[in-house]
Amino acid sequence: MISLDGVTPVAHGESLPVVEKTVALDLLPLMAARNGWTPDKIESLAITADGTLISATDNDGVDDATGETQVLYPGMAGDLK
């Protein structure tokens, strides 16, 4: 999760503020759980109105990819650290 508390926008060309991030969820185990080819990255992450997390992969641009798309349901946003 990335908190924007205390971050002030700046004009183009000025020094950008630095934010800190915290890993809230490791999706790699879910991506590898199907015991096949593991996608190289997540393409999207959404939070539905009830707080359900939905993530998708799309690796059609990778030469050795199977072309498989995975839709993952890693849990609820409220359960993240």
CA distance 16 to 25: 26
Contacts with 50 (C-beta within 8 Å, 6 or more apart), sequence order: none
Residues 6+ apart with CB under 8 A from 22: 1, 2, 81
- For the stretch 35-74, pLDDT in tens is 877 887 889 999 999 999 999 988 666 677 677 788 999 9
Average pLDDT of span 4-18: 91
pTM of the model: 0.67
